[in-house]
Structure 1
Amino acid sequence: MQLRLASTSPYRRELLARLGLPFDTTNPCVDETPLPGETPRDLVVRLARAKAESVARQVDDGACVIGSDQAADLDGQPLGKPGSHEAAVAQLTLLSGRTIRFQTAVALVRSGGACLEAVDTTIVRMRSLEPQEIARYLATEPAYDCAGSFKSESLGIALFEAVDTSDPTALVGLPLVATARLLRQAGFAVP
């Protein structure tokens, strides 16, 4: 069976490669704007499915397609990728001393087949951050393309008080425990 990742994220590509299965990547071209009143969990489930379905329709080669999405959930409101230095400073200032739920969804779609889905919730307690700590962090690791404005897999971990998770890869962008389970359900040999 062919496998395709509906993402251009280097983080997701690197994570999926850990499972040792050959795969191709395709840009899903999906509007990621939250719908009015949509919870962060509902948002990531909808977008993971939409990304996988979009690529399955674009390519239509019978491949199994993995879509994934993540949102930082602060008091029920989704926080996306900051995109700029100023937005990252504002986001980290807002998150300082707070508890954030990171919702990460994965969907596996076969052309003309059913969609298998899973969601991981990772809880992050941020330390109280001084403005100079935020400035030093972003000068060292400008995480403008990451929900929450940090990279937990590297220096961003120093911003945390604690992490509660069943899958540490979920916080990076693709929950491999759930992804491996969905791939096995679809007939892939993992490992």
Structure 2
Amino acid sequence: MSILVVGSVAFDSVETPFGKADNVLGGSATYFSTAASYFSEVKLVAVVGEDFPDEHIDFLKSKGVDVDGLKKMQGKTFRWKGRYDYDLNEAHTLATHLNVFEKFQPEVPEAYRKSSYVFLANIDPDIQWNVLEQVKKPKFVACDTMNFWIEGKPEALKRLLSKVDLFVLNEGEAREFAKEPNLIKASKKILSYGPKTVIIKRGEYGALMFNGG
């Protein structure tokens, strides 16, 4: 079994009451690829800038991640900056700089297009849609997003969900996307957009899973 992962490989800067870290390796495709590599073959499609060090690519390779689809482009790597208060369950976005992501149009390598399992990590929902157009009849498609796309491209995200089996987001994003404070009602509204299953992440309190059945 192999998993195709398309999404963000980034630099994160994070502040908490207990310390901070600047320009560390981040991005949802990075975290997913690393975790999934313990259970499956992983094929990564993403873009980074000229400032992305080889040591980070070597880290992914050390986990057995196929990085033939990871491209370097002229410009700077995607950056996210956020803050956590004493409630470490909720991130406050301070800045999002798309940089090379802004013009990224992923071309899925031919060898990746028959992947049975696809994870659309955080990226522009129009680009996520474009990726699905290139993949040949996957068995299972999962999707991640963030508040940046919920606020900027909600209709594109709703369109994408009609082709998704599993949609993953945190509780703040779920409330914002559904415009509903109650998570059960929010999940039902999100399910109406098309995904078979919705998982709402709740930090240290675990997660909630809802499905249409």
Instruction: With the length of structure 1 as denominator, give the TM-score of the two structures.
Output: 0.28
Higher RCO (CA 8 Å, separation ≥ 6 residues)? 1
- Counting strand residues as a fraction of each chain, which structure ranks higher? 2
